[in-house]
Structure 1
């Protein structure tokens, strides 16, 4: 039985979330809180398996509550919040930095609640089986030896747990690494601008949502739009595709991005697969490795969900598995920059 604490200052939202979880006999709403302070108190009292919370609430906001919970009794946390504007979304992704596992949109239309009804129970079950915090390595491990090469593209793929990993990776990547970076992060529509804004603020890099036919400058970071595949075109520009169906249920698809680089110069590509459920990106990473690219994945100890990286390792798509900060150093060395 997965015991869930629901936290939101709106009685209507709390009631709807209860109804979404009610049909699932293996999920039980253990309690409800109307603000962050109540959430902290109930986490200590009820010891739920998962917390589902908003970020904007009275008395104590969700961000402060997440920080307190992760200090006092680390618990997997899912954030459900509105996507009113870019700054508000950036606050939501700050919750990831403080320990939240995933950020989900608070639906604004009936069809949105139907989609959440399908996704939330699965996420709650997954979150309940995960450690609420990950060990921090006290000293760098010995990095795999790699010969420096000319790198033209850095390709990154991520899903659940990805925003925090991407932040750590980009923040640790030395400024001297001036290579265009393309990112596919599975994300709800309307959240990509907030993620880009947050990553730019946190890392100091030029992070934006990708546009078709865009030619990237060195060091620029572009995110795939929600509900659109992102590809590298033959001339090195970007292609945003909203017509091709989802791949394995995903649009954007990490595999689609990785495979698009095969037609260019894969030997000058570095591709990294971060935390996420499922197997998206594993096949594409294997194809890139066979074509001469440098490949790596996030390791199990630092991954919120060791699904996509595990699939890649089992396929033989890479032998390199490291935490995000060490992946940044590995990529820097590959690019000829020691960091």
Structure 2
């Protein structure tokens, strides 16, 4: 008989990491490690044997690369996967590719003193495993994402407008967490180049946000970059909150400006969606559109409510299209959402709303 606990299979070539993750997971009353594996080939047999609820997966391992294993796994037996990656440029690139292939989330290994660092992450690791166990898993492996990305990047390069935009009053704010990297890509990818400026907070560490922005910039007609402090916000551009810095919008005369700071974490996050959304309510008011996407926890719910109270139009991704429905669910529960839609309908609804607003002016 299968236990009520969340069963976890730990796959990592490091005996130290396997032991530490096992200790952290087994210390929680609602989860347990059913087996560990030093490489994907051993893991494959253990998956058949134990049918785990969640798999933690390292990237660089002997006998088979973690990404190759993940791609095969998501094609043949889709299941919730939590990547364990390094806090490096290479690690961020590989992790984003893993999320494209269908991994639910990731946990970053500390750069130094792994033992104490992972112990410090114990609560976060447990939370992520719980979220993974409830996640809607959809394989992207069969979609030949890399081929599609290359074709789209070529089309964007050929069609992207090199216009110098003037300022506009309209501005869009987006918040996301677990599952958000792919949701944000899907939200942005078909938006036209003449959109109002878009500010985004996605829960990610340093290095990851820059790599994420660079990948999006190659795929989107909009210009996408990691936000810089005290930067003029222009239409046709997307600004991603840097890892470990809060992003806010401020005013300088007629212009919207970025404001980055190292304030205390909010809802245990820096950057925090609530910090961005509260600034949107203060500064942009009814000229703002707020969008909350898939994610674990409640970050952004209170801020989106404040935006709505200030006159902003607010949307949430629906449960069926979310990887994890936590953040949209909390925003809906507190009354902060005007409309709930599938991810595929959010871009066109934002465009429609902005067209209606502009026509009324």
TM over 0.5: yes
1:308 match: 327
Choose the corresponding residue for 2:229, options 202, 205, 212.
Answer: 212
Partners of 1:159 and 1:186 within 8 A in 2? yes
**For structure 1, which segment, 28-37 or 264-273, has the greater mean C-alpha deviation from structure 2 after superposition?**
28-37
TM-score, with length taken from structure 1: 0.86
Partners of 1:44 and 1:73 within 8 A in 2? no
Map 1:15-54 to 2 at 5 A.
15-54=19-58
Deviation of the 1:117 alpha carbon: 1.8
2:121 match: 116
Asked if 1:268 corresponds to 2:295, the answer is: no
Asked if 1:238 corresponds to 2:258, the answer is: yes
Map 1:157-306 to 2 at 5 A.
157-172=175-190, 174-203=191-220, 205-235=222-252, 236-242=256-262, 244-306=263-325
Asked if 1:327 corresponds to 2:331, the answer is: no
Counterpart CA distance in 2 for 1:198 and 1:3 is 34
TM-score, with length taken from structure 2: 0.81
Counterpart CA distance in 2 for 1:36 and 1:151 is 52
Runs of 5+ consecutive residues of structure 1 not aligned to the other structure: 136-149
Counterpart CA distance in 2 for 1:277 and 1:284 is 16
Partners of 1:271 and 1:296 within 8 A in 2? yes
How large is the RMSD of aligned CA atoms in angstroms?
A: 2.3
SS of 1:188 mapped into structure 2: coil
Q: 1:203 to 1:59 in 2, by over 3 A?
A: farther
Partners of 2:56 and 2:83 within 8 A in 1? yes
Structure number with higher helix proportion: 2
Counterpart CA distance in 1 for 2:297 and 2:69 is 30
Deviation of the 1:295 alpha carbon: 0.9
SS of 2:251 mapped into structure 1: coil
- Count of aligned residue pairs for this structure pair: 320
Higher relative contact order, structure no. (Cα contacts within 8 Å, ≥ 6 residues apart): 1
Per-residue Cα deviation, 1:101-158 (whole angstroms, up to 9, x for no partner): 11221122235223322211222123223333399xxxxxxxxxxxxxx762110011
Q: 1:92 to 1:201 in 2, by over 3 A?
A: farther
Counterpart CA distance in 2 for 1:25 and 1:259 is 36
Q: 1:162 to 1:115 in 2, by over 3 A?
A: farther
Deviation of the 1:215 alpha carbon: 1.0
Deviation of the 1:274 alpha carbon: 0.8
Asked if 1:97 corresponds to 2:93, the answer is: no
SS of 1:233 mapped into structure 2: strand
| Stretches (4+) displaced over 6 A | none
Partners of 1:104 and 1:188 within 8 A in 2? no
Q: 1:35 to 1:200 in 2, by over 3 A?
A: farther
Runs of 5+ consecutive residues of structure 2 not aligned to the other structure: 141-167, 357-361
Q: 1:72 to 1:191 in 2, by over 3 A?
A: same
